[in-house]
Structure 1
Amino acid sequence: MDDGPNWSLSSQVSSATSSRPVDGGPAAPARKRKPGTWRRLPRTLPLEVEVRMKLGSITHEELNRQHLARAEELEKMDDSGCDTEEAKIAFKAFKEEHVRWYRKLAEGWPENIVINYNPQPSDTEEEFLTAEDMEARFTNRNPTHGAQLKHFAGLALAHYNARKTEHKLDLAEALTSNCFSEACGTTYAHVNFIAIPGKTNNPMKRLFFAELMLIPELQMEEDTEPMRVLHVSTIDDVPCYGGCHEIHRKINHRMRGVMDYERCHACHDILKHPKGDMFIGGHNSTRMPYYSAT
């Protein structure tokens, strides 16, 4: 039997504020939250608690009270720090799961219980979707940053139409977008939208993916669009894949360092992509190198 419980809980629970010193001194100031970092919650077991448990100066009853306090603290949190609809959904699932675990820990801590929270690797599924399939998934969703989403979709469709000589398309619905920054500072946007042929008696809806990139130098120029369209393609006639942001992806193919050129690690599953070599941004597989940029 081990000397004590195994406290290797999920890496999703990390420190948003500096831990209190063991000697009871004043706490260090909290770090300012960046967009998309709502997961930076207090650690399940702060450093001083680990030290006190090793020294035998903390009881199970006191530890249980701390778990209960953390459950109540998490229950009071809302999704105001989430900047996308997908982040709100992920936060709700995270909150429900960890409140349940905190309360279970607070019920009692027999010495022979060991928690080893180590999620198994998973992957996003290959899907064949129609425009109607995606429309149905967004029926009850209210997109955040709606004006930006429609703007990105309009730019992408104009780029697509400029390369067509006939049967130009009209925007039917802008579904979802994600604007994110790479570690190097480059900002990209990924977009899903639906378009239909104009001036036809039997318009067939088409599902699109587009990638745009921000050109910072153009932001200072009036009447100049700073977002450049890099790629636009239909994805209702090819396999598509949801983004795998915040999942522990099982990667079986050879990569270039940490770069996974099959999937997007910046977007959530609801945003669908073609095969990863069709777009540039979002390939860093180190799980959370990305933050939202609005």
Structure 2
Amino acid sequence: MTWMVTGGAGYIGAHVVQAFLDEGMDVVVVDDLSSGHEEFVPAGTPFVRTSILDGATLRTAMREHAVTGVVHLAGYKYAGVSVQRPLHTYEQNVTGTARLLEAMQAADVDAVVFSSSAAVYGTPDTDLVTEATATAPESPYGESKLIGEWLLRDQATATAETDRPLRHTSLRYFNVVGSGRADLYDSSPHNLFPLVIDALLAGRTPRINGTDYATPDGTCVRDYIHVADLARSHVAAARTLAAGGTLEPVYNLGSGDGVSVREIMTTMAEVTGIPFVPEEAPRRPGDPARIVASGDLAARDLDWRMRHTLTEMAASAWEARRPR
């Protein structure tokens, strides 16, 4: 029994791969290295360097490695930039997912765990997002993730009466941070933790965008979760699908309790030992004051819980990037 992890050389993907290996489950990694790192792929783990747009190579890899399920993380993940690159975003995230599903059907692979996103909710009008909260994406990225969920749903419907109906679930992530190993790190040029760490390493002062929100300290509140906790829930979802169990179509992986940008800055100063007072800049257009999700459904079904404090999240992120 082997699981294919698309995007398995990326920050989140590499942690998911490690979580599978820690559970004694075989994995094959697929990644085009457009944002991933080949050194993130564990020694001895089969690695296929290809795009998910290459259906023929995906089919071949699935057959050669006797793949029984897929964790689909590959995609273009930059919400802000997707506004300037909508066609690229849709090609990677929508066409790529369709090609993957075609390859799965051709290779008789009938289980998939899909990496969705909190971006499907847009700016929710509730203090606590649940799976029942209306979806209203506000970027091509968020739209493409929601369409990905629809593709899984529709393929499951189309194959329901066959001998291999598609079994699936989609995990909607919020802000994934930290590191489960000192050699795996977030290299995104858009995520808050690496932006803060990069600024400190370069001798610059990190910046807060917006300090006049209707929140306790005036800065945006977001849902931050540790990448290793996230990875464990992928394994739990895969195990359930592999055993023929039933999962909900979507799950939020959220903390239920948000953290402000200013709190993150304070914590980063503490764990790095680099004192600083963050620069304050105007709000960025489209940034909601607060987005926090309930993880109750995932806690019930996917062994989901917050196992790391904010200090542990920040310290592990710093440990993976600090000078040695």
Scaled to the shorter chain, the TM-score interval is: under 0.3
Q: Which has the higher helix share?
A: 2
Q: Please tell me whether Structure 1 or Structure 2 has the larger radius of gyration of its CA atoms.
A: 1
TM-score (norm 1): 0.24
TM-score (norm 2): 0.23
